Structure 1
Amino acid sequence: FHAAAAPPPPLVLLPRSPSPSKRYFPIPLDSLEEEYRIRSADDGKLFREDGLCTCGFYFSSHENWASREHNREKNRYPNILPYDHSRVVLSHLDGHLCSDYINASYIDGYKEKNKFIAAQGPKPETVADFWQMIWEQKTATIVMLTNLKERKEEKCYQYWPEKGCWMYGNVRVAMEDATVLVDYTIRKFCIQYVTPRLVTQLHFTSWPDFGVPFTPIGMLKFLKKVKRSIHPTAGVGRTGTFIVIDSMIDMMHMDQRVDVFGFVSRIREQRCQLIQTDMQYSFIYQALLEYYLYGDTELDVCSLEGHLQRLHNTRAPHDRLGLEEEFRKLTNVRIMKENMRTGNLPANMKKNRVLQIIPYDFNRVILSVKRGQEFTDYINASFIDGYRQKDYFIATQGPLSHTVEDFWRMVWEWRCHSIVTLTELKEREQEKCFQYWPSEGSATFGDYTVELTGDTLCETFTLKDMVLTYRPEKQSQHVRHFHFHGWPEIGIPAEGRGMIDIIAAVQRQQQQSGNRPIIVHCSAGAGRTGTFIALSTILERVKAEGLLDVFQTVKSLRMQRPHMVQTVEQYDFCYRVVQDFVDIYSDYANFK
């Protein structure tokens, strides 16, 4: 990274010294899980050793053209330069000798020569060169793996117009469309030099400033959208990670094995430092293992009915149903108890309704600390990503009598306008949720007063309008409460229409009130809560893309909060509701 940046957290940079004495062989797919376990042991020691060995390929003498004086200012980093033998050569403009240079390299795929172009993020003075390259190379897809700024340092100049069109050198670029999703943004440009051409940019926005993504799920989903040109900041570490994952998945399909070490060694002969840290090297294996274990579970809505039939079919009486096998894989998602320290503090234990369901520290909802009172920033609640937006939901438990003020404090401090309740106050003679709203008039909970201003009974849910007032400041906000009554005490709802209706009602409320987090709770904040959030996310994607991935949606939820979608019946219900949605609203008009 840039030398002028603030000191980063400790990262193991892979040096260039080779270790020629050690040989590495391709890994058969049936050995991949065990190989990953072995290499992850001892804090990833073997990943570091493997990474060191791939770093021996560095040909500084082959960077003559990139290091010439008239090209130096075009390089974002002086130590990351393309090799002469693999650099992308632009057409000369007006006889200028130096006009053929751009910091970009051809990179092979697994079997396809020059499948990728790895380029640095454009600088202001190289934007025209970048678009010239896109035009001349007939590139249809650009993959961007960096944000424009990270830790206040420019990583890539914005080389596209927000709206309208701009001229970059001789190429006209017009913004046609932009779609923002939770992990990436898709932009479509019409570019024109002589004739117009459509170019799609896929911008992965979930790569952290340092390290690697928490899970490879988003990256693997993103990978499916990608075809040709890649440019993170320096055109090396993240670019190399992406290229290796893509190419090794190709190798999986063709040869039933992977050879990360051999492939990384090969592409480092085409561009230096393609994989910069041991974390990137480990992430490659993590992504490949994820793909091998779970495969591609994405479905087109047209194939959903046939998929459901297969999930419920069994060849012999003692065979496990496909649905049960799919759900069993979800139960293998590890519960990270080491990341539940705050919820397990003695002062906070009494605030948890169910001791097995405690929020992870990395995404728990944090309240402001009350003056002079320790441990008052905790509530059993987790931020959960939606389809388009991070932290779109808050999954929480049904409030206890002594946590009601904390609940309303969360509503106030996070400016939430929508609350979804998926349980009755009592079920089977047991309290599932303390009544935290007034039956009529108003009620006061600590510093907060809640006034009921409207109560409407819909077919399967009650809609209550309330005004929440923070008494010390005498300020108020409107809150709409959706109480679903269609969930039986045992099992799941008999049909999906009621769930579809309440999800649609909540989305309409969000459009009117602004997209602040939606609070969703049942009793423990996992089973029904997870099912509601999963369905909201899945149906939003069905509406936008005509695609769904129930398995990966639920898997992602379970990595954000333990036990989300608790039973195989709830998991099956997710599929059933989507099928009902497709059957009822095939044109999606009513859902919108």
Structure 2
Amino acid sequence: MRNRDFKEDMPRDLDVNHERASSLGGDIMDGQDTFTQDPLEGRNPRIRGGTGSGGAINGTGLGGRSKRKGRSKSSSRTDDNRPRRNRIMESASTSLSSIPNRIQLSMLSSGLLKITEEAKAINSMCTKPYASSTHSRVCAEHRKFPILFKAEYQMATKVEAHSIRHASKEANELKNQNKRIVPYDYNRIVLDPLPDVPDSDYINASYVDSLLTPKYYIAAQGPREGTIPDFWRMVWQMNTRMIIMLTKTFDFIKVMCVQYWPANVGGHDEYFGIKVELLKEEELANFQMRTLKVSKAGEVREVVQFHYTGWPSHTQPFINALLEFRRRICLWRQDNYNPTDGPPVVHCSDGAGRTGQFLAIDTNLQLHEEDGFFDIYGYLKKMRQARRGLIESVEQYKFVYEALEEFLTCGHTYFPVSDLSQCLKRKSMKGPNGKSEYQLEFETICKMTPRFTIGDCAGGHRADNRFKNRNVLCVPPDNFRPYLTSFQGNYCTDYINSVFVDGYTHPREYIVTEWPIPNSLGDIWSLVYDYDCSAVVVLCNPPVTVNYPSFWPEKQTSLKYGPVFTLEHQAHEHYDNIRTWIFRLSKKIVSLTEVMAGIKADTKSCQLFQLMCWPQGHKVPTSTNALVELMNMVEKWRQRTGYGPVIVVSPDGMSRAGVYCAANACIEQVVQHGEVDVFQAVRTVRRHRPQLVNTMTEYKYCYDLVLHYVLHFLQKEVKH
């Protein structure tokens, strides 16, 4: 009886459900789009009532029940034996164009629809150029529906394959870094052949168009040991004056690219009559710039190489650092461009993923500056038609969107040092919204600061490390913290609450840490010893208590800190607001393995600088001149002893330290390039520890420090 009653109720339920579906479809049609056909038409005879019924249910609305009465237990419910999920997918695909865009996006994101061929692509995909002013909205849509990145990438990379006959020759296969990433025959770089050397016209390099100019770039693989001569033959033949290198020579103990330039300034190498000499080399935190003199048969050319060193394989670089890298390239182009120059050579390890990302960012920014448009999807399609593997993954494609968004959000934040006073006056004035430029900049920085999860900072949250943190909300991410390597006992770990911070000229130039607690006194000196830190900067002077124990001997004596480190006083000098000590740091070997091996620990020296004019509770020091003078003293000491990392100690590892690091980076930029960019300096400082420069007062004080340096120290140093 229960089964029979259930069968009798089913048609009534179907009628009700169909009425609900009809009303829902009407709402959708009224609100957004009009269906061109019923998406269920002709799909299921049990519901449609046959091919000629024309009704929601067949003729009387009960035909489905009458058929079921005569059905045997072994027969199928419908004529279609495919799984129900497959039938739904196929039905959705055929009527995809009739479903409103936002519903399509939701269905794609939840996996109800598959990413099909481009002919059935959803309208929300940015397959055509669009105004760069709408890019933030486009990125917001992509973040809400991440499936868009995957859909666009899959469709854009479905391009026609071209012939690779020359790359597949046996004589040329050994010249390729990656068998998958080889040039097409139709647009490969054809070298002038060498006499009596077969296939000497081949090099793994391709012409790639920009969005504005055909054959604007040469995308190449990094030279191998046997292809360095071919690389310089290409540079000379194509009259290239700029090389853009996007990989390290070594990465994870693997040779990514052979060094194809002389090792030392003044050194030279020669390849088939082409002489290459290194004239100048300039190092910044994330990239290097080299000037090379290339000569052949009495003709001399100058070639510049921009080498980005902060982009390990299978990772993404810091966007603001990569944009600064491109800005330096653009400045060189403006000052040195000649219409007769050949295309720049852009290469990573195999001339694929990272090369494609840089080309996509560079050419879209060119299009933005020229016409105010972006064409990310279209350019990926264009690149893939020119060379295999340019942008190799969805993550790399997503990075291009994010880099362009950050460029538009931040804009140009640098200015010449000669305009410093005028710029600070302008920044202090409030606009129509009642906020000054200082406030708007700092709000932007806060919005763009990365957020780390507990998983990112797992080391500091381990049970045996948690007690080493003054504040469990301020724990360093594992990827950016220094690991202690000196063995101090079986119960000691490699953890200290410290984080690396990049400077302007060196990566990981600073190590920011908190004032040690009683059970971590040995750890801070292990940090000094393990990382060859020649300078320790202490930005506070708390009274000695249990919470703030002294961690260096102030008098002429030696003290032991932890089980293995001994600090011996060598000299000291005290000024009104600054005190300095020079110590000799020795280490006792307690590891049985090292003792049996006869290993002896070297003695190292370091200088400790303490600022005395920044009392507790004060947001800024009472003497700006003293802080700038301290920075100068540290720099002079490092010039004498080597540029190891500087340990910066603040009471909590958050306040004060960011000001010191950011202001130092700005002063370095003023000295080296005559520019000021506090905005990007603070962003760099906050990459690995978002709590640095965490107040508007500290942010503005960074500008004040740079101004004080320019007015009172810069001219003296220039004269000297």
User: Aligned pair in 2 of structure 1 residues 431, 257: CA closer, same or farther (>3 Å)?
Assistant: farther
Offset at residue 189 of structure 1 (A): 0.4
SS at 1:589 equivalent: helix
- Find out whether 1:21 has 2:120 as its counterpart: yes
Corresponding position of 2:651: 523
Match of 2:153 among 51, 62, 66: 51
- Find out whether 1:60 has 2:162 as its counterpart: yes
Match of 2:186 among 57, 64, 85: 85
Offset at residue 390 of structure 1 (A): 2.3
Offset at residue 28 of structure 1 (A): 4.4
Corresponding position of 2:632: 504
In 2, Cα distance between equivalents of 1:212 and 1:236: 14
Offset at residue 370 of structure 1 (A): 5.0
1:144-181: CA deviation from partner (whole Å, max 9, x where unpaired): 11222333433322222224222211321111111222
Offset at residue 282 of structure 1 (A): 1.6
Q: What letter matches 2:305 in structure 1?
A: Q
In 2, Cα distance between equivalents of 1:395 and 1:239: 34
After superposition, where does 1:96-115 map in structure 2 within 5 Å?
A: 98-115=199-216
**Residues 518 and 546, structure 2, Cα contact 8 Å, conserved in 1:** no
Offset at residue 425 of structure 1 (A): 1.1
Corresponding position of 1:7: none
SS at 2:306 equivalent: strand
User: Aligned pair in 2 of structure 1 residues 129, 466: CA closer, same or farther (>3 Å)?
Assistant: closer
In 2, Cα distance between equivalents of 1:345 and 1:153: 32
Corresponding position of 2:242: 141
**Residues 239 and 274, structure 1, Cα contact 8 Å, conserved in 2:** yes
Q: What letter matches 2:661 in structure 1?
A: I
Match of 1:442 among 552, 558, 579: 558
Corresponding position of 1:39: 142
The structure with the greater share of residues assigned to helix is 2
User: Aligned pair in 2 of structure 1 residues 433, 541: CA closer, same or farther (>3 Å)?
Assistant: farther
Match of 2:218 among 99, 117, 136: 117
1:13-68: CA deviation from partner (whole Å, max 9, x where unpaired): xxxx96453263245445434543553568x543233222121124233x334334
SS at 1:343 equivalent: helix
**Percent of aligned positions with the same letter in both sequences?**
28
**Residues 455 and 464, structure 1, Cα contact 8 Å, conserved in 2:** yes
Corresponding position of 2:515: 398
Offset at residue 312 of structure 1 (A): 0.9
Corresponding position of 1:560: 688
User: Aligned pair in 2 of structure 1 residues 69, 346: CA closer, same or farther (>3 Å)?
Assistant: closer
In 2, Cα distance between equivalents of 1:357 and 1:124: 47
Structure label with greater radius of gyration = 2
Q: Highest relative contact order (Cα 8 Å, sep 6+), 1 or 2?
A: 1
In 2, Cα distance between equivalents of 1:173 and 1:411: 41
Offset at residue 96 of structure 1 (A): 6.5
* TM-score, normalised with respect to structure 1: 0.88
1:427-468: CA deviation from partner (whole Å, max 9, x where unpaired): 9xx998432122323333332333333221134310112233
Range moving further from structure 2, 191-200 or 121-130: 121-130
Corresponding position of 1:549: 677
Root-mean-square deviation (CA), in Å? 2.8
Corresponding position of 1:217: 320
Q: What letter matches 1:57 in structure 2?
A: V
Match of 2:610 among 464, 480, 483: 483
Corresponding position of 2:291: 188
Q: What letter matches 2:460 in structure 1?
A: G
In 1, Cα distance between equivalents of 2:437 and 2:572: 44
1:283-316: CA deviation from partner (whole Å, max 9, x where unpaired): 1112112112112212222232222122112245
Match of 2:491 among 373, 382, 394: 373
In 2, Cα distance between equivalents of 1:477 and 1:241: 44
Corresponding position of 2:446: 331
In 1, Cα distance between equivalents of 2:384 and 2:149: 17
Match of 2:398 among 268, 282, 290: 282
Corresponding position of 1:206: 310
Q: What letter matches 1:372 in structure 2?
A: N
Offset at residue 556 of structure 1 (A): 1.5
Range moving further from structure 2, 192-201 or 52-61: 52-61
In 1, Cα distance between equivalents of 2:417 and 2:435: 25
Q: What letter matches 1:406 in structure 2?
A: D
**Residues 424 and 433, structure 1, Cα contact 8 Å, conserved in 2:** no
In 1, Cα distance between equivalents of 2:522 and 2:436: 45
- Find out whether 1:310 has 2:413 as its counterpart: no
**Residues 383 and 391, structure 1, Cα contact 8 Å, conserved in 2:** yes
Q: What letter matches 1:137 in structure 2?
A: M
Query: Which stretches in structure 1 are left out of the alignment for 5+ residues?
Result: 1-16
Corresponding position of 1:265: 381
Offset at residue 498 of structure 1 (A): 2.0
Corresponding position of 1:3: none
- Find out whether 1:353 has 2:456 as its counterpart: no
Q: What letter matches 2:359 in structure 1?
A: I
In 2, Cα distance between equivalents of 1:431 and 1:571: 32
**Residues 585 and 591, structure 1, Cα contact 8 Å, conserved in 2:** no
SS at 2:687 equivalent: helix
Offset at residue 220 of structure 1 (A): 1.0
**Residues 397 and 524, structure 1, Cα contact 8 Å, conserved in 2:** yes
The structure with the greater share of residues assigned to strand is 1
SS at 1:224 equivalent: helix
User: Aligned pair in 2 of structure 1 residues 91, 325: CA closer, same or farther (>3 Å)?
Assistant: same
Q: What letter matches 1:401 in structure 2?
A: P
Offset at residue 391 of structure 1 (A): 2.1
Q: Matched residue pairs, number?
A: 569
Range moving further from structure 2, 128-137 or 531-540: 128-137
Match of 1:319 among 434, 452, 458: 434
**Residues 613 and 623, structure 2, Cα contact 8 Å, conserved in 1:** no
In 2, Cα distance between equivalents of 1:183 and 1:418: 23
Range moving further from structure 2, 388-397 or 89-98: 89-98
Offset at residue 500 of structure 1 (A): 2.2
* TM-score, normalised with respect to structure 2: 0.73
Range moving further from structure 2, 447-456 or 499-508: 447-456
In 1, Cα distance between equivalents of 2:366 and 2:546: 53
Range moving further from structure 2, 488-497 or 105-114: 488-497
In 1, Cα distance between equivalents of 2:699 and 2:170: 62
Offset at residue 536 of structure 1 (A): 1.8
Offset at residue 521 of structure 1 (A): 1.1
In 2, Cα distance between equivalents of 1:513 and 1:32: 49
Offset at residue 69 of structure 1 (A): 4.7
Q: What letter matches 1:460 in structure 2?
A: N
Offset at residue 554 of structure 1 (A): 0.9
SS at 1:573 equivalent: helix
In 2, Cα distance between equivalents of 1:135 and 1:529: 49
In 2, Cα distance between equivalents of 1:532 and 1:281: 36
Corresponding position of 1:9: none
Corresponding position of 1:344: 461
Query: Which stretches in structure 2 are left out of the alignment for 5+ residues?
Result: 1-115, 334-343, 591-600
Offset at residue 264 of structure 1 (A): 0.5
In 1, Cα distance between equivalents of 2:421 and 2:551: 41
User: Aligned pair in 2 of structure 1 residues 174, 462: CA closer, same or farther (>3 Å)?
Assistant: same
Corresponding position of 2:228: 127
**Residues 18 and 55, structure 1, Cα contact 8 Å, conserved in 2:** no
Q: What letter matches 1:465 in structure 2?
A: I
Range moving further from structure 2, 156-165 or 187-196: 156-165
**Residues 585 and 606, structure 2, Cα contact 8 Å, conserved in 1:** yes
**Residues 404 and 436, structure 1, Cα contact 8 Å, conserved in 2:** yes
- Find out whether 1:179 has 2:282 as its counterpart: yes
In 2, Cα distance between equivalents of 1:88 and 1:277: 26
Corresponding position of 1:8: none
